[in-house]
Structure 1
């Protein structure tokens, strides 16, 4: 990979479209809109620039792998799939419909989804198994597992870091979407995570901490892969929950939202900077 990124404007345009899809999926039943918006830039970058995944190689054993352990961010994943040609855009209208498999968490019946997720803390171990298999077979595939920061309260995540380093899985990257919220509470008010960089380092990983909304920073970090020979790679991506919508950014009560059609239209205008949306408390659905 080149160390200098030249298509930032294109990536930003794709990410904007993905955020539009997320907002549109936040009605008629709703979705986990805040966390999906925080992860959008990460997912767009990984599929556009880093991973060897495209509509023609979804079952190729030489493809790269992405596991979305924080499965409630799937609107960002499906939105990215739609923009990059892995999923028909019209299918996004079937969100939560009985006629399709597009709902609140990833489903392997959708081409490109490698594993079901939703129960937090499980997919780091799945990613380890795939990375170990690739190592045994002498492959060059890259394996990425996206995790939430609140998910790190699961002990299995830290066990996975220990195991990954024990087996020198430098073909594996754990990406932490560090938006500082766990469900409807700030992480540091529940079970403090910091100093997160030091904790991963103490567990033996090679760690980079970056701005998760900067495509330049993302590219600089992932261009250095593997960060150190024989060590698990960890990227802590500092993000903003609800990124792109000032009316819900960094709000603990905007975890899961079910907006009306009118509110969705207003939010789309806000996304494009036309005005700031005023949302009532009745909009909120907490799960």
Structure 2
């Protein structure tokens, strides 16, 4: 039976939906993400960017883009908003969160634990002194997929490439093209779900001739990818586009936006799971050392959880 695994880690909460020993969905929620999807906040309209359609609002702790604008609202007016997409970090610039007008009292966004607990599947709380259920299901391999972009499937491999415009999947493999493309379509659908990829997604399949074989590839996407989404047909060059609702960064975007921070959190997880006595000194890369130095609260949490005075030095 499928179940969610959950860990309240240092700097992040993590969850994995596991069935038959495999991770179907991997989710990470950073402690410092703000505002989160579903938060209802008091805000003020500070700029109308598109008359009658869109504006920029400010709230305690940040700003967001608001659409649609309430009828008759003027710059400077107070209102209540709900976050519909979290901020997205990109090289050179970040995209502000997106929001819609809301009614009623303000409220915090549901946490990762609250979201998975609200569903029908059981949630198993995983603690550092227990056997590592995440690793047994392949957690590190999924993170490596997200960071490196290489995903193997029977008969071939995918290359996953997040870009500001869309997430691209390139298919490579040998053997007859139609079975390869169908197998790749199943692998793409599973990867999209596993890594929580939304927005525009492009898949470059091998060029296959004939309407029937191309339809079989599209049907494989339909079978593996839960609604709602929209897609094109596979065109004569083997390209298919998928559009899914985007509410937050995908796992590849989250990890690649701050690779040093991701490595630092993974290191803290490993140290936290080390049986006593925990080594007092750990040598790390300059980037990881800088990430840890900038976050004293992570080091303090590690000391509380391990009962050890742990130091980090650049190797």
Per the normalisation by structure 2, the TM-score is 0.28
Q: Which has the higher strand share?
A: 2
Q: Which has the higher helix share?
A: 1
- Determine which structure has more spread, i.e. the larger CA radius of gyration: 2
Per the normalisation by structure 1, the TM-score is 0.30
